[in-house]
Structure 1
Amino acid sequence: MGVILMLPGIDHHVRQDGDERTVWMMHPDGSWARATAAGFLDSPTVHQGGTRRLWDALERVRNRLNSEGGLPVYGARVTITPDGVTTLSRGGWSVTL
């Protein structure tokens, strides 16, 4: 599933200075990640802190996307109860928001 579904509330910021790019991820619980890459194809240097490892969560999503060609949320069935509980499901995967 996407990192937004796994960890809702993450704020993202991106800065580019020439070829160098920096991405920040911040969560209201105090967790954060900062990744900086010197060039377009360079692997980023990542720093993160707080109770959740935001960059690690993003990497799990990216690895799944790259290895399977998609995420389970694509084509998911949506169920919304009268009290607003939303469940997404596809195959054996599901998440309740």
Structure 2
Amino acid sequence: MQTRSTADYPPSLNDLFTTASSSEGDVTVSPLPVLDVMQAWEVWSMLTVPGIEHRKGTGDDGSRMTWMLHPDGSWARARTTNGERTTTVHQGGPRRLYDALEAIRWRWIEHGELPVHGAKVTVTPDGETTLTRGGWSATL
């Protein structure tokens, strides 16, 4: 479920979005095209960095763009030019959010599936939640 973003409830990271839209940051090139994370539930559910706000857009030239913003000041901006398959990625702040996303995508490509689907869930009395499947685990 996506958060509300109407005029009476604006996204909380607009200042960071302005930074992410114009700053150079650390620049890399990914061999994978931009992904709309919010429409790829299996990838989104594996992204264990809570609090990321995802935004997407289309450039004037038809390029596909995505932004990942985090309250700790981390941000990523990725752009796949119309007709291309590679992505130029700009990142800043204390974490490399797009790197976390790419690691999940490569796992998906290499294994043909993501382990969160069909994972066993364990919840401790204090609320710590751990997902496990095969040799993979994630504690939330």
Change (3 A) 1:40 1:12: farther
Partner deviation per Cα, 1:3-43 (whole Å, 9 max, x = no partner): 2x2x1111100002462111000111101000111125431
**Relative contact order (C-alpha < 8 Å, sep 6+): which is higher?**
2
Question: What percent identity do the matched residue pairs reach?
Answer: 56
Superposed structure 1 runs of 4+ greater than 3 Å apart: none
| Correspondence 1:45 to 2:88 | yes
Unaligned runs of at least 5 residues, structure 2: 1-44
Amino acid at match of 1:9: G
| Correspondence 1:2 to 2:49 | no
What's the counterpart of residue 115 of structure 2?
72
| Correspondence 1:14 to 2:82 | no
Amino acid at match of 1:22: M
Aligned residues: 95
Amino acid at match of 2:127: G
Unaligned runs of at least 5 residues, structure 1: none
When structure 1 is superposed on structure 2, of 74-83 and 63-72 the one drifting more is: 74-83
Q: Tell me how far apart the structure 2 counterparts of residues 12 and 53 of structure 1 sit (CA, whole Å).
A: 14
Q: TM-score w.r.t. structure 2 length?
A: 0.62
What's the counterpart of residue 26 of structure 1?
69
RMSD of aligned C-alpha atoms? Answer: 1.7
Q: TM-score w.r.t. structure 1 length?
A: 0.86
The structure that is strand-richer by fraction is 1
